[in-house]
Amino acid sequence: MAEGNQEQLRFHPVEGCTVRAEFNGGAMSSDFGPMLLRGVDRQIGLSDRLAAAIADWRHSSYTDHELGDLLAYRAFLHACGYADGNDADALSTDPVFQLALDRYPLAEKSRLASGSTFCRLENGVSKKDIYRLGQAFVDQFIASYAQEPEAIVLDLDHTVDPTHGQQAFSFYNHHYRTHCFLPLAIFEGQTGRLVTAVLRPGKTPTGAENASILRRVLDRLRVAWPDTHILVRGDGHFANPEIMSLIAERPNTDFLLGLTGNNRLYEQARPDLDAAAEEHTARCAEARRMSLTPPQATRHYCELSYAAGSWPITPRVILKAEVMAAGRNPRFVVTSLQQPEPEYLYAALYTARGQDENFIKHWKNDLFAERTSDRSFLANHLRLFYACAAYVLHHALRTQVLAHTELARAEPGTVIVKLFKRAVRVVPKKRRVDLHLPTSCPVKGLLHRASEILYRIKPPPPRPA
């Protein structure tokens, strides 16, 4: 069958009328989101901060795009649901993206960077550039607070990033049954703010490697916030002597980490598990007698006397003695905190780290942190940072601009669909640019609120070079 005219779309008639569509609408865009992201970026200074971290090696005679524009463009693309460099080619003449990068729309000189430009950027960054970018995200996290916080929680977690080509430092990881990278993400557990992230090889990290990364983060935070209490929280991968030593030697810093069970721990846990099993049996029998639904689980929380010989200190070990219909499920955590009771430590403080999985899901699934398909490891690290920048922009938009609205706690994907994907016609004039949105726009009130807030807030002065 002949393809016909690809510039025209045909549809079935409606009430006897022929229906056709053509790609001749002129200066239109399917994305209004970049205009909101531009306001957020101007307010928090993210792209300028990241650009300052990279030593620009490019010759000025052959440079059409500033580093800040390149980083902002890719961050905006990720934040609007576009994951790849090819999308930069397709949207280089999009009038709304051009406006978001402070360019007069539709002019030939306003064309945005292409995918090949980003390829050269990604393969031109150095190890020092990547290191400074990682620090820049920590600085951005610090700058997101108006004053020194009383306490913060650093949630550490590794996440699998499957690889499918010949990427450098892609290794087979038996736990995940795939070749992968294993990036480390650090979020603030109470607010969901991104602290920083590190792209890692696919092998399981050593305690010394984790401690080395954490030390740099803690040093930078402590310079800015000398009195803030810092709680480092993570699963059993981080319960090692190196992490404990690092935190134990620092004032006003504690850890709360999962602990893998062993024979000695299971032996100490047996009496509490027996008591929990006896209580669970009695509760189930009582529920059946009363024709009620049996309880799903019975849990006891207690403190054990245990310390591994390699540990530099003697921390507290907390047991959750859980008994369910499927059997016994003992769980352990280790902490340097002295005050909270065992149940509060485990049920309130430690289990709250499960929210970190949602932050990682948003970062990976909605903002494409897994698009690391370049052969160069440094290039893939920069691609990971694109997703980090998109996450920071989304978080600032939701918490500072969309607070107390229906999207205040929405996932990035929901914000993209409900708020960003709005058709807009761009009409450039001599002294202004008019944007025409649909009359029946369902989020008219939200867009008005967001644009007014961003318009009225004075952006900070430019950062010194």
Quick one: three-class SS letters along the chain?
CCCCCCCEEEEEEECCEEEEEECCCCCEECCCHHHHHHHHHHHHCHHHHHHHCCCCCCCHHHCCCCHHHHHHHHHHHHHCCCCCHHHHHHCCCCHHHHHHCCCCCCCHHHCCCCHHHHHHHHCCCCHHHHHHHHHHHHHHHHHCCCCCCCEEEEEEEECCEECCCCCCCCEEECCCCEEEECCEEEEECCCCCEEEEECCCCCCCCHHHHHHHHHHHHHHHHHHCCCCEEEEEECHHHCCHHHHHHHHCCCCEEEEEEECCCHHHHHHHHHHHHHHHHHHHHHHHHHHHCCCCCCCEEEEEEEECCCCCCCCCCCEEEEEEEEECCEECCEEEEECCCCCCHHHHHHHHHHHHHHHHHHHHHHHHHCCCCCCCCCCHHHHHHHHHHHHHHHHHHHHHHHHHCCCCCCCCCCHHHHHHHHHCCCEEEEECCCCEEEECCCCCCCHHHHHHHHHHHHHCCCCCCCCC
Over residues 119-155, the pLDDT tens digits come to 999 999 999 999 999 999 999 999 999 999 999 999 9
Residue 163 pLDDT > 60: yes
Residue 175 pLDDT exceeds 50: yes
Assign 2 a pLDDT band (cuts: 50, 70, 90): very low
pLDDT reported for residue 106: 85
Give domain limits for the chain.
28-123+404-456, 128-255+358-384, 263-354
- 294 or 186, greater pLDDT: 186
What's the pLDDT score for residue 465? 47
Q: Which pLDDT does position 3 carry in this prediction?
A: 54
The pLDDT confidence band at residue 101, using thresholds 50, 70 and 90, is: very high
Mean pLDDT rounded to a whole number for the chain: 93
Confidence (pTM): 0.93
Q: Can you tell me the mean pLDDT for 434-460?
A: 89
- Greatest Cα pair distance in the chain: 85
Question: Is the pLDDT assigned to residue 33 strictly greater than 90?
Answer: yes
Res 463: pLDDT? 52
| pLDDT at position 89 | 93
Does 26 have pLDDT greater than 80?
no
For the segment(s) 128-255+358-384, the CATH number from 3.30.420, 3.40.50, 2.60.40, 1.10.3470 is 3.30.420
CA angle 386, 390, 394 (to 5 degrees): 170
Confidence of residue 24 (pLDDT cuts 50, 70, 90): confident
Give 282-295 pLDDT, tens digit per residue.
Answer: 999 999 999 999 99
pLDDT of residue 460: 61
pLDDT in tens, 303-359: 999 989 899 999 999 999 999 988 999 999 999 999 899 999 999 999 999 999 999
**Range from 83-87, 191-195, 228-232, 256-260 carrying the lowest mean pLDDT:** 83-87
Q: Which residues contact 261 (CB under 8 A, 6 or more apart)?
A: 269, 330, 331, 332
> How far is residue 124's CA from residue 374's CA, in Å, rounded to a whole number?
13
Predicted confidence (pLDDT) at residue 170 exceeds the cutoff of 80: yes
Whole-number percent of the chain with pLDDT over 70: 97
Q: What is the pLDDT confidence band of residue 462, given thresholds at 50, 70 and 90? A: low
> Quick one: pLDDT at residue 1?
40
